[in-house]
Structure formats: structure tokens, C-alpha cells
């Protein structure tokens, strides 16, 4: 599980043992980065986390500082709670809950950066649902729920009048 950084070092920048940086510039920046990551991990407390959960938490914290991260799962669950409160919408609520839970299992995470969702990811999600022996009607319902939430997020976060698009259209 790699986390992309702006620090890149070639073989020439390392000692012969490949353990230390030759230039203290790299060393200082790397130490700052590691300290920042340790702070983010400490925020998780003592709860059980997978390596992927920790990676996503660090990425979310970094992106939140720049105002880019939108947790799609949190958004879906929030919207679904609003649906639960409406009378006569129990079926929609339960179908949406199933779709959200399938998406969590597919990603193996309780949070997803909305900008990670692409056409290819949704195709892989559809394949995942098929492997789970979800019927065609269930697959369609899951994809419809995810699409509805995605469009709702675009409506909430994008401002077409200002030509500001935080959430892009589905990419390949």
C-alpha cells in the first residue's frame, strides 16, 4: 500500500546501503512527512484498522486540507438516513442500505473518496456483484442506487453557475 508523496529519490540520492538519504534536504522533508502521517494515525486511536483503512485515512486527511476529499460512503449513509425518515420509503431505504454495504465490501473500506469512482470501477463492482451471485435485478438496483447518490453528490458539491466542479463526471 503506497501513499503518493512529492518526495522522489533516485538511487544516487541514497547511500550505498540504500538506507539513508545523501542529501539532508530529503531527510528533513521525509521526517516531516512521517511525523504528519504519525499524527493522522494517532487520531484513529486504538480501534482496529486494516492497512487500507489507515492509507485511506491519511489520504483523506491530506486531501481534506486542500478541500478535495468527499467521503462517498458517509454521503450515501447521510442521504439514506433522510430517506429512512420519510413514510412509505422503507423499500428504498433497505435497497440503498444493501447497495452501500455491497460497495463497502467491494472496496474493503468504510470510506471512499468520491473522485475514485469511475466507469471502470463501476464495471468491476458489477462483476463483483455477479461473483456474489446477486441476481440481475439486484445488480441493476445496486447500480441505480449508487448512480442516484453520485448524482445527488454532484448536485450538492458542484456549482455549475460558478463553473466549479469538485466532483467530476464519471471517468473511464
Q: What radius of gyration, in Å, describes the C-alpha atoms of the chain?
A: 20
Pick from 120, 76, 121, 75: which is nearest to 97 by CA? 76
pLDDT computed for residue 172 by the predictor: 44
Residue 29 has pLDDT above 50, yes or no: yes
Q: What is the pLDDT of residues 91-122, one digit of tens each?
A: 899 999 999 999 999 999 888 888 788 888 99
Q: Region 19-30: what's the mean pLDDT?
A: 62
Q: Region 120-149: what's the mean pLDDT?
A: 95
Crossing angle for the helix pair 136-157 and 90-107, to the nearest 10 degrees: 90
pLDDT computed for residue 18 by the predictor: 56
* Poorest-pLDDT segment among 20-24, 38-42, 43-47: 20-24
Q: Quickly state the pLDDT bin for 26 (edges 50, 70, 90).
A: low
Check if the beta carbon of residue 13 is closer than 8 Å to that of residue 23: yes
Q: Region 15-43: what's the mean pLDDT?
A: 70
Q: Tell me the average pLDDT of the chain.
A: 80
Share of the chain above pLDDT 70, in %: 72
Q: What is the pLDDT of residues 11-22, one digit of tens each?
A: 666 666 655 555
Domain ranges across the chain: 11-65, 72-162
pLDDT computed for residue 140 by the predictor: 96
In degrees and rounded to multiples of 5, residue 113 shows phi and psi of: -70, 125
Q: How many whole angstroms separate alpha carbon 145 and alpha carbon 148?
A: 5
Q: How far apart are the first and last CA of the chain?
A: 23
Check if the beta carbon of residue 74 is closer than 8 Å to that of residue 111: yes
pLDDT computed for residue 152 by the predictor: 92
pLDDT computed for residue 106 by the predictor: 96
> Which residues have a Cβ under 8 Å from the Cβ of 142 and sit 6 or more positions away?
98, 99, 102, 103, 125, 129, 134
> Which residues have a Cβ under 8 Å from the Cβ of 133 and sit 6 or more positions away?
none
Share of the chain above pLDDT 90, in %: 35
Amino acid at each position: 500500500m503506497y501513499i503518493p508523496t512529492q518526495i522522489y529519490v533516485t538511487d544516487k540520492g541514497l547511500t550505498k546501503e540504500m538506507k539513508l538519504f545523501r542529501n539532508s534536504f530529503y531527510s528533513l522533508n521525509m521526517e516531516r512527512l512521517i511525523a504528519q502521517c504519525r499524527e493522522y494515525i494517532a487520531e484513529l486511536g486504538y480501534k482496529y484498522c486494516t492497512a487500507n483503512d489507515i492509507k485511506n485515512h491519511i489520504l483523506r486527511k491530506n486531501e481534506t486540507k486542500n478541500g478535495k476529499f468527499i467521503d462517498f460512503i458517509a454521503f450515501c449513509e447521510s442521504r439514506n438516513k433522510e430517506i429512512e425518515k420519510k413514510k412509505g420509503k422503507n423499500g428504498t431505504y433497505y435497497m440503498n442500505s444493501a447497495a452501500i454495504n455491497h460497495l463497502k465490501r467491494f472496496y474493503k473500506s468504510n470510506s471512499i473518496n468520491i473522485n475514485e469512482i469511475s466507469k471502470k470501477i463501476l464495471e468491476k463492482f458489477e462483476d463483483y456483484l455477479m461473483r456474489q451471485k446477486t441476481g440481475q435485478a439486484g445488480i441493476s438496483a445496486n447500480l441505480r442506487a449508487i448512480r442516484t447518490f453520485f448524482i445527488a453528490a454532484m448536485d450538492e458539491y458542484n456549482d455549475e453557475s460558478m463553473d466549479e466542479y469538485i466532483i467530476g463526471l464519471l471517468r473511464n
